[in-house]
Amino acid sequence: MTAWLEYFVEGFWSEVQIVKDQVLSLTSLGGTKAARNFLNKDEIKIVDFVVTMGKITSADAVSILSVPKRTAQAKLKKLEEIGIIKRQGAGPATYYVAARKQALK
């Protein structure tokens, strides 16, 4: 049992360090603009989704946040304006990716 607990705690600690690094890298993603902006819980969910999946669409944001499409689009636009994500494509094929993908890893 001790060996399993040590394994579990090491894995948990490793994941905590990854999340910490991702949070700390948010400032470098948006430069001084991001440093002055605090992300709310919905915006953190969006960033987490982008980090995990590699991209997000407005439909994804609607689904994970349980908000109307316009609200999801506004949240995505704010994250784009502060330089955390960037838009790719146009029209219905629009999706967002991390502004500097390497900074999130």
Instruction: Give the model's pLDDT for residue 53.
Output: 87
How much is the pLDDT for 88?
95
pLDDT in the model for residue 16? 74
pLDDT for the residue numbered 23: 66
Quote the strand ranges of the chain, DSSP E: 85-88, 95-98
Q: Which residues of the chain have pLDDT under 50?
A: 32, 34-35, 101-105
d(CA 16, CA 25): 14
Assigned CATH topology for domain 2-104: Arc Repressor Mutant, subunit A (1.10.10)
pLDDT for 92 = 87
Alpha-carbon distance of 101 to 105, in angstroms, equals 7
pTM to 2 decimals? 0.63
CA atoms 11, 20, 103, 56: torsion sign: positive
